[in-house]
Every structure is written in C-alpha cells, then in structure tokens.
Amino acid sequence: MQTPFDLPEPTAGARAHSAHLAALIHERISAAGGWIDFADYMDLALYAPGLGYYSAGATKLGAAGDFVTAPEISPLFARCLARAIAPVLQALPGADILELGGGSGALAAGLIPALARLGALPRRYRMLEVSADLGERQRALLGAQAGPQWPALEWLEALPGEAFRGVVIANEVADALPVSRFTIRDGAVQALGVGARSGGFAWAARPADPGLAAAVASRLPDGASAFAEGYTSEISRRLPAWIAALSATLGEGALVLCDYGMTRREYYHPQRVQGTLTCHYRHRAHDDPFRHPGLQDITAWVDFTAVAEAAVAGGLAVAGYATQAHFLLDAGLGQELAGAGHPLPPRLAQQARTLLLPGEMGERFKVMALSRGALAPGGFGFRDLRHSL
C-alpha cells in the first residue's frame, strides 16, 4: 500500500489542529532523546487529550468522516449479532450488555430493537467510549430512539468495578490499540520508531529493547532468525493487558470481538513483508501514519492468536472464531434476508454482499467469542476456525 497522491487537503482549521498535536509529539520525541516507540506515537496521534484523533472532534465515522464500519453499512450486522448473543442474555436474567467503543451508536441502535424482538433485552446497555464527541453522538442517536421498553442506557468512564454478567461487545476497537513496529536488520530485531525530520516525522530504527525482541521472537516457532532481512511488521504489546482487564471484568457471560485480523501464522507470514499498518483519511486507505496527525485513523490488524492466549491466561474459554461471513450466515443472515420481502430490496442485497464477500468484509473481518461459564454465543456452527489459532 502506498500513500495516495489524491488525499484531500484538510481545512485550515484542521491543519492548525494537526499542527498543535504535531508540536506536542515533537516535544515528546525531544524529551525522550530524539526517538519514541511507534506505539507511543500512535497513542498520542489517537488519544492525546483534546488533540488525538479519538479524543478530539474529527467526524471519524460515516460518509462525512474517514471510514464506515459493519453496523454503519447495514442493520443486518446488528440483527445477526443479536441472534448470536440472545441465548446468553436469555440464560442470564438481569444480565447487561457492555459495548466498548460504540462509535456513532449504530450498533446499539440496531441491537436493542433486535434483542427486543427476540425477547432477550438486557437490563442495562452500557457504553465505554474514549471519545467525548462519539459519546455525544451515541447519546443523541440512542436518546432519540429509546422507548419505554428499552434497557437503561449508561455511559461508563472505566470498566465496571464489579464482576460483569452479560455480553461485552467490541467491534473494530482492538485494531485501534497502539502497536510497536519492528524490522529485521542483519538478522536482529530493530524497533521501528519515530524521529523528527524536516518539521515532520520519519521512521527511525534502533536496536529493540529486550522485551520487544523477546515478543517478536515468540511470534515464530523458530524465533526472530526465521524472519527474512527487511521483514517489517507490528506487534501489539498492549493487547494482552487489554484482554486481561476485560477477562478480569467478565464474571459470567461472553465477550465478542469483531475486527480485521487473522491468526498469528497468517499475520507473520513470510510474504507479509510490510505488516498491516493502515491509515484511514476521508475514505482513502494508505500507509503513512505521519500525514495529518490527529486527523486520520491509524490501525493495525489484530493477532487473534494473541487475543486467545491472553483470554485463556485470564481464565476465559475461546468459544468460537470465524470469518465475519461465516459468523453472520450461521447467526441467521439468511433468515433476515428471507424476512425482508421478495424481491429483496436492492440496497439490502448490496449491504449483504459488502458484509459477506471475501473481497469486501467477509474474510478480512473475524469474530471471536470468549466466555466465562457454560454459556457461549452462537454463530460458530457453520465454520469454526479455532483449530487454526
């Protein structure tokens, strides 16, 4: 992937905002002696208070933003997810839903009515959102739709302190966790971090600290020496702690993670020589995280083997792992389409194609269910890929 030449120019106000954030990142680089790990750069670019992409006011989701997600593309996604989690909610009276990173609120707005139709409403629908403006969008959307039968809506500042009973959902959140980048030089692992160059930022390699070198070596059965010279990729050193925190929170029920990602074997495949780092700006995907800091999303695919390892270490069971297409089909996409009338409205047919086709979202996106207790979501009967993790 290369940076397209046709990235739209930000407005003067947006450029000024980005310049403020860039100045902050330059200060951090300078204070750290001229170099920071890419995870620290990504953390600032996405989450610096008042300035980062998710902390400040960029539109982010939807036609006027930078990307669209499955629940934004089609209500079919939320309806199928509702079918998959309904048995867990029905078996746990008084259970809650906790949605992490709910974006515009589209998933909640689709899930709640679908769960009501299935007789599986949670007691509370709780949101944990790091972005103040997305939290506002969620409140506005859900507040306008809420009816007397709706569960109580709550916005949390942190994971619940008490043991959570119910279903935790995170669609396209894990890919926003900051990643470290590495490259192989002279057979050794180098950390590919960020330095300052001509007023902007540039990649800068330096020998990996022992923690990064060991983490990279653990990614291949034969250790770091199995990576070819120049091989470059990412590793999320924060993902295990994030999953550990979620595991500690989940007292009974399930956690459903949907994201673009793959098994470790696929992630660190010898031919994937440039990793998975991707930036999204006004519906263009490119690979330059130093363009317009604070105005664009920066993501990396999820290593689902790492998710599974951390979950098992936290006492959860991996209850299912499937492509988005297989998950949606098993969860009842066919029934949803059959109930949508004949002929199928062309818009719905197009949405279903986008969710299902391998060249669209069907295969790149995966769904993983983690559970504590005997209950597990559906959606994995069609083709469960846990054996491949």
Strands (E), 1-114: 96-100
The least distance separating ligand SAM from the CB of residue 207, rounded to whole angstroms, comes to: 29
Q: Which is nearer to ligand SAM, 69 or 190 (CB)?
A: 69
What are the structure tokens assigned to 152, written together? 């109580």
Which window, 122-130, 151-159, 178-186, 301-309, contacts ligand SAM (CB under 6 A)?
122-130
**Spatial contact of 20 and 51, defined as CB atoms under 8 Å apart:** yes
Report helix, strand or coil for 86: helix
Tell me if 22 contacts ligand SAM by CB under 6 A: no
Collect all residues with Cβ–Cβ distance below 8 Å to 143 and sequence separation of at least 6: 153
- Quickly list DSSP for 162-195: SPEEEEEEEES-GGGS--EEEEEETTEEEEEEEE
Q: Which is nearer to ligand SAM, 128 or 216 (CB)?
A: 128
Residue 167: phi and psi, rounded to 5, are -125, 125
Residue 353 beta carbon to ligand SAM: minimum distance, rounded to whole angstroms: 19
Q: Which two tokens stand for residue 277?
A: 């780092």
Chosen residue from 10, 65, 102, 289 binding ligand SAM by CB under 6 A = 102
The binder of ligand SAM chosen from 38, 54, 231, 327 (CB under 6 A): 54
129 near ligand SAM (CB under 6 A): yes
C-alpha–C-alpha distance, residues 278 and 280, integer Å? 7
Of 21, 88, 127, 128, the one binding ligand SAM (CB under 6 A) is 128
The interface region with ligand SAM, picked from 95-103, 202-210, 246-254, 315-323 by CB under 6 A, is: 95-103
Nearer of residues 231 and 289 to ligand SAM, judged by Cβ: 289
Does 289 bind ligand SAM (CB under 6 A)? Our answer is: no
Closest contact distance (angstroms) between CB of 310 and ligand SAM is 15
Binding of residue 51 to ligand SAM (CB under 6 A): no
Decide if residue 69 touches ligand SAM (CB under 6 A): yes
Residue 103 binds ligand SAM (CB under 6 A):
yes
Shortest Cβ distance from residue 106 to ligand SAM (Å)? 6
Contact mark string toward ligand SAM, 130..169, x via CB under 6 A: xx--x-----------------------------------
Identify which of residues 103 and 151 has a Cβ nearer to ligand SAM in the complex: 103
The type of residue at 199 is G
DSSP 3-state of 25: helix
Q: Are 168 and 253 in contact (CB under 8 A)?
A: yes
Residues paired with residue 281 on neighbouring β-strands, in sequence order: 284
Number of residues that bind ligand SAM (CB under 6 A): 20
Q: Please, what is the minimum distance in Å from the beta carbon of residue 374 to ligand SAM?
A: 28
CA distance 339 to 345: 11
The one among 18, 171, 249, 278 contacting ligand SAM by CB under 6 A = 171
Distance separating alpha carbons of residues 116 and 138, to the nearest angstrom: 19
Rounded to 10 degrees, what is the CA torsion of 325, 327, 328, 334? 100
Q: At 138, phi and psi to the nearest 5?
A: -65, -45
We find the least distance from the C-beta atom of residue 130 to ligand SAM, in angstroms, to be: 4
Residue carrying structure tokens 């492509």? 323
Q: Which DSSP symbol is given to 16? A: H
Give the residue, chosen from 43, 66, 96, 172, that forms a contact with ligand SAM under the rule CB under 6 A: 172
The two three-digit tokens of residue 17, written as one number: 């905002």
Give the residue with the Cβ less far from ligand SAM, 71 or 193: 71
Judged by CB under 6 A, the stretch of 102-110, 200-208, 225-233, 311-319 that binds ligand SAM is 102-110
Cβ count near 379 (within 10 Å):
27
User: Does residue 204 touch ligand SAM according to CB under 6 A?
Assistant: no
Which of 81, 106, 246, 361: binder of ligand SAM (CB under 6 A)?
106
Q: How far apart are CA 252 and CA 88, in angstroms?
A: 10
**b/e code 102-116 from CB counts within 10 Å (16+ = b):** bbbbbbbbbbbbbbe
Binding site for ligand SAM (CB under 6 A): 54, 61, 69, 71-72, 100-103, 106-107, 128-131, 134, 171-173, 176
